[in-house]
Amino acid sequence: MQGGDAARGKLLLAQYQCGACHRIEGVAAARGQIGPPLDGFGQRSYIAGSVPNAPGTLVRWLIDPAALKPGTAMPAMGVSADDARHMAAYLYATP
C-alpha cells in the first residue's frame, strides 16, 4: 500500500481498538467476533460484502464507513487519512 507503514498500521489497529469487533492476525487482543475477521484482506473482492476492495477505497472506508455503505454497523472511529493509510497497509500485508 503506497504511502502507508504496515508496522505503524498494526499499532494503530490496536490503538483504535479494532480488535474489539474484529479478529486481526498479529494484533494483540484482536479477538472480536462481532465483525468479520480481517485476515487475508488483500485477497478479498469486497469490503463489507459490497464495496469493491481497492487501497483508496479501504482508506475511505476506515475514515467514514457510512459514506460508502449507509447503514453499516461499522462505526466511524475518528481515523485520520494518514492513520487510515497505515492501517490499510497492515491489512493488505497480512496473509
pLDDT in tens, 2-56: 889 999 999 999 999 999 999 999 998 899 999 999 999 999 999 999 999 999 9
pTM comes to 0.94
pLDDT at residue 47, as a whole number = 96
Question: In one letter, which amino acid is 87?
Answer: M
| Pairing label, strands 46-47, 51-52 | antiparallel
pLDDT digits 0-9 by tens, 58-90: 999 999 999 999 999 999 999 999 999 999 999
CATH for 6-93 is 2.60.40.420
| Residues 27, 19 contacting (CB under 8 angstroms) | yes
The reported pLDDT for the residue numbered 89 is 98
What was the pLDDT predicted at 74?
96
The rounded distance, in Å, linking the Cα atoms of 14 and 25 is 11
